[in-house]
């Protein structure tokens, strides 16, 4: 399976991507995770990305396109992958299309997780991640176990989340008509428990 996960910030792409990656035994490739790792390692790319991420802005296309092109050509991605948070602009989607054509490995679907903006702020602000395992938790909806070593993402402060949501509406929402025109778009309602959403995702991908 080669799948793109679309949806606004905190809609549940990472949560559902982890479940699907485990079920299909393919990697989940998150550009957000890759950029945060580069920032933590202090690489030139990480330093360049940091100022955009902290401002709730998209990192320039040429930076993320290069990262993803390299990653999907790795041996563990030959049987498939789940792209979480990429593409986010039409230029990124065109670059992905070109790369997959060259690899002879077309996309199977682009899955949009729909969650109203009014719920997204709370999902982001109360998100916590276990830094040892990468497991995603929510202080209200998916409480962490006591032994988890929790981190709060720097861009999950309320003001930055609002900017990320604006950026999504301005830049990334255009991918819905893009993938609809290519008959690849599947949409699921992302409101409900994570398990309920997983059931809808599995159904939508079987269609
Ligand atoms: P990125 O890390 O990709 O962030 P995002 O797209 O904003 O998405 P999130 O990780 O915030 O949320 P999610 O949809 O994965 O939700 P999750 O499952 O965690 O990007 C960060 C930044 O990096 C960007 O702002 C940009 O600067 C840069 N960047 C990354 N990719 C880029 C690209 N391609 N181009 C340019 N720049 C790029 O869930 C959220 C919370 O809700 C969790 O607490 C979870 O437990 C909870 N939750 C999940 N499902 C449910 C449910 N059904 N009910 C209740 N709670 C739920």
| Residue 153 is among the residues annotated as catalytic for this protein | yes
Q: Which residues contact 101 (CB under 8 A, 6 or more apart)?
A: none
Q: Across all residues in the chain, what is the average pLDDT?
A: 96
pTM above 0.85, yes or no: yes
User: Which strands, in side-by-side order, build the sheet including 136-138?
Assistant: 136-138, 127-130, 150-151
The CA distance from 166 to 164, in Å, is 5
Ligand 1: residues whose CB is within 6 Å?
Answer: 7, 9-15, 31-32, 35, 52-53, 56-59, 64, 85-86, 88, 92, 123-124, 127, 136-138, 141-142, 155, 164, 190, 192-194, 197
Residue 207 pLDDT level (bands cut at 50, 70, 90):
confident
Count of Cβ atoms closer than 10 Å to residue 104 Cβ: 6
Sketch out the chain's domains with CATH numbers.
2-26+107-206 (3.40.50.300)
- Using a 10 angstrom Cβ sphere, with 0-12 exposed, 13-18 middle and 19 or more buried, the burial of residue 42 is exposed
Write down the catalytic residue from 2, 128, 164, 200: 164
Strand, helix or coil for residue 15:
helix
């Amino acid at each position: 399976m080669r799948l793109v996960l679309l949806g606004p910030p905190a809609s549940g792409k990472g949560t559902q991507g982890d479940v699907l990656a485990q079920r299909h035994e393919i990697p989940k490739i998150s550009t957000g995770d890759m950029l945060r790792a580069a920032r933590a390692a202090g690489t030139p790319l990480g330093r360049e990305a940091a100022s955009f991420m902290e401002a709730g802005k998209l990192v320039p296309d040429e930076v993320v396109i290069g990262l993803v092109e390299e990653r999907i050509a790795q041996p563990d991605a030959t049987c498939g992958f789940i792209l979480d948070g990429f593409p986010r602009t039409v230029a990124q989607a065109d670059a992905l299309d070109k790369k997959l054509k060259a690899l002879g490995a077309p996309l199977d679907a682009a899955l949009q997780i729909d969650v109203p903006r009014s719920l997204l702020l709370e999902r982001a602000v109360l998100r916590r991640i276990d830094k040892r395992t990468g497991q995603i938790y929510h202080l209200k909806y998916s409480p962490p176990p006591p032994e988890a070593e929790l981190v709060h993402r720097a861009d999950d402060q309320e003001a930055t989340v609002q900017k990320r949501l604006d950026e999504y509406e301005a830049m990334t929402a255009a991918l819905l008509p893009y993938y609809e025109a290519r008959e690849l778009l599947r949409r699921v309602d992302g409101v409900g428990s994570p398990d309920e959403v997983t059931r809808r995702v599995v159904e939508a991908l079987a269609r």
